[in-house]
Chain A
Amino acid sequence: MIEVHELRKVYGDRTILDGVTASFAQGQVVALVGPSGGGKSTLLRCLNGLESFDGGAVSIGGDRLVPGGAKANRAALHRVRQRVGMVFQQWNLFAHRTALGNVIEAPVHVKKVPLAQATERGRALLARVGLSHREGAYPHEMSGGEQQRVAIARALAMDPEALLLDEPTSALDPERVGEVLDVLGALAADGLTMLVVTHEMRFARNVSHRTLVLHGGRIIEDGPSKEVIDNPKHERTRAFLGMDRK
């Protein structure tokens, strides 16, 4: 359902994405891994137009994003962003809204869902991420793990066809990582399409179906997760996974 064709992005004299082509099927959980600066986050942010690109195209469902940023893609962007949700490393919860307020904000104001209906669904989503008891809490009153689970519920509230997750556990205290991964595992089991930029190799190996390794703006390895992680073919992947000395 998501097709990336020859995606190129240049920043000054640095090439961030150097002709990335890939397609992602519905229901697939894909881990994007690789060393920092390899282009993983940029690729993810190009998929919902938070980042513009200089060459190639992205198509999601029937909507196509082309080079030229917001100006060139105005109509498509609006639809694309309703089809794919995004979860950020730093959560980015709306600081002036409660947990429930964060979850119902977009359904009420973008999709015009009646408030009562949105609230009912919002509560169900908070229950799904295990935070029913925190619906009245403001972001600054919650732990990082709780905030990230609210952020996931917020993205799900728009009924996205796919979820993009940009290092969802990197900013968390180690003891909080598990609670977020548990939620993601449950979502994967429910058949939600997810693209996850992550450094959690256990998550990549055990939960995701497929792993892509990005290096220098290119995909250097792409295959079933267990295969890629347990038996990488590319030497860069081996170096990245710390397997050289074996």
Chain B
Amino acid sequence: MKRLWWVVLLAMAVLSCHGRAAVVGGGLARVRAAGVLRWGGDIQGGEPYVYEDSEHGGRLTGFEVELANALARELGVRAQFVQNDWSALIPTLERGTFDVALNGVEVTPQRVGRVRFTRPYYIFGARLMARRNDPSVQPSLASLRGRRVGTLANSFSYELLRHVAEIVPYEGVEEPYIDLVQGRTDAVLLDDIIATRYGEPKPELRVVGDIADGYYSVALRPADDDLRVALDAALARITASGELERILRGSNIFNDRQRRLVTWTDDDQRRMLGTAAAGQRFGWSHVALFAKGALVTLLLSALAMCLAIPLGLGLAVARLYGPRALSRLAGAYVELYRGTPVLLQLYVLYYGLAPIVKLNALSAAVLGLGMNYAAYEAEVYRAGIQAVPRGQMEAALSLGMTTPLALRRVVLPQAFRLALPSVTNDFIALLKDSSLVSVITVVELTKQMTITAVDIRGWGLPGALCALMYFTMSYPLSLLAQRLEARLARS
């Protein structure tokens, strides 16, 4: 028990250090000395931000690439792109992997309290879209009260919708509109650039209107304020010279809103930054949300396992005793599901099959995880069945039992007992794998943790609590597995 507490304390210590290791001062000197401005972005965000141009051998392209090059040139250095998951741009910036985050980073009160922003390089509208045949959605936040609205997690639009709508958080830009078409949500609120590229081409959808203006700025660590000042000056120069307008026009995203960039004043900057949201304190309300997340995780895992166990059993029996065709089919199922990532399977099930079967997110999650784990359970049972001595089957047959009866009454009960420790261990793995379903908008424990970490501007406490909750769920199961193994060894 003592050892256990050390593990927990160590985990908390590691997690609370994370994010505080800011590099101190001299950002501009550092960049000049290195000769490179390292900027973080995510090519997954796609056209027109930063993307790989397939027609030019995957060359890095996009208006932010041109902007980064221009800014670096103004500083007398070279720009160097660093790929990073979009949702983790700010924490990665904080730990010093790159000098600036420059990839559609929207100015939100949460981020203002955490990083320094330059003047904006793009002004976007938070664009509301709904289905063409649904007139109930109006161009106002009030009309969204209580409705299901899709948006990117931790985005500007997410902040607008908070406390108003039932938010369905996504991690990609295409998926919110797919779900809107399918009727899984009532509306989508996202930046106009995204809406234009991914939402407006869909004939089933209509633009309801733009609800608020938002800003893309370059984000820096607070300690690098001299670099921020230098970048502000560089931005002012390329804005005044018309270079920024040329860059934006090159990507077809220049519009009347951008004219404000030319006359941008210190007052505008103050208004944009507004009052930094006081970082929320981690409190009981968060603990309650975590408990709810943990409940979703547990429910999801339990239901998925309830599906995986009988399905896996069927597959194992079909593979070992079924007619040749069925046996091959079961074998193919196992290899297919074990040989491809569960993330991909969830995507196919939820988005790929949406035109045929319209599953809600939780059902798709249970079905996806259950079908994936069935493949693993099938192999566990197969090993269990093969470990039952042949004589057991022979004895059953010699007593006049049919093969199915002998399986049901004699072989499978023993195989199941042999497999039980592995099944328990698989359930522990499933508890943690279940965090993958956040890609299909299910908010479970890990997703709740990342959302809260942004709200309170720190990963330490949420991370520790999240770890503790997973541990609380899996440790008893681990003990159970050990006990089952011991019992098996005795008999």
B-binding residues in A (CB < 8 A): 48, 50, 78, 81-82, 85-86, 88, 90, 92-96, 105-106, 109-111, 138, 140, 151, 154-155, 158
Contacts and interface: CB of A to CB of B under 8 A. Distances in A.
B401 A110 contact: yes
B399 interface: yes
Contacts of A82: 400
B414 A106 contact: no
B408 to A, nearest CB: 9
Contact of A94 (B400, B405, B410): B410
Interface in B407-463: 409-410, 413-414, 417
Contacts of B134: none
Contacts of A85: 398-399
B88 interface: no
B394 A158 contact: no
A155 B397 CA distance: 12
Given A109-B405, A110-B399, A50 B414 contact: no
A142 to B, nearest CB: 13
B329 interface: no
Given A88-B394, A93-B395, A140-B491, A81 B400 contact: yes
A151 B398 CA distance: 12
The 4 tightest CB contacts between A and B, nearest first, are A92-B391, A106-B399, A92-B395, A86-B398
15 contacts: A50-B397, A81-B399, A86-B398, A92-B391, A94-B392, A105-B409, A106-B399, A106-B401, A109-B409, A110-B399, A110-B400, A110-B405, A111-B400, A140-B491, A158-B400
Contact of B395 (A78, A88, A109, A110): A88
Contacts of B395: 86, 88, 92-94, 151
Nearest to B388: A95
A138 B414 CA distance: 13
A222 B112 CA distance: 101
Contact of A92 (B389, B405, B409, B413): B389
Contacts of B398: 48, 50, 81, 85-86, 155
Interface in B363-418: 389, 391-392, 394-402, 405, 409-410, 413-414, 417
Contact of B392 (A86, A92, A158): A92
B414 A96 contact: yes
Contacts of B389: 92
Contacts of A151: 395
B328 to A, nearest CB: 19
A96 B412 CA distance: 11
B394 to A, nearest CB: 6
A61 B176 CA distance: 73
A105 B394 contact: no
Contacts of B413: 96
A140 B391 CA distance: 15
B399 A155 contact: yes
Nearest to A70: B403
A105 B406 CA distance: 10
A106 B400 contact: yes
Given A81-B400, A105-B409, A110-B399, A92 B394 contact: yes
Given A92-B392, A94-B392, A109-B405, A81 B414 contact: no
Contacts of B491: 95, 138, 140
Nearest to B395: A92
A192 B316 CA distance: 41
Give the one of B391, B400, B402, B413 with max A CB within 10 A: B400
A155 B414 CA distance: 21
A238 B325 CA distance: 53
Contacts of A93: 395
A144 B409 CA distance: 23
Nearest to B393: A92
Contacts of A155: 398-399
Contact of B417 (A96, A106, A109, A138): A96
Contacts of B414: 94-96
Give the one of B389, B410, B414, B417 with max A CB within 10 A: B410
Interface string B305-339: 00000000000000000000000000000000000
Contact of B394 (A50, A109, A140, A154): A50
B407 to A, nearest CB: 12
Nearest to B398: A86
B392 A154 contact: no
Contacts of A154: 399
Contacts of A110: 399-401, 405
A21 to B, nearest CB: 24
A82 B398 CA distance: 8
A198 B413 CA distance: 33
A231 to B, nearest CB: 35
Contacts of A158: 399-400
A50 B395 CA distance: 10
B154 to A, nearest CB: 53
Interface string B340-370: 0000000000000000000000000000000
B30 to A, nearest CB: 70
Nearest to A102: B395
A154 B395 CA distance: 10
A109 B401 contact: yes
Contacts of B405: 109-110
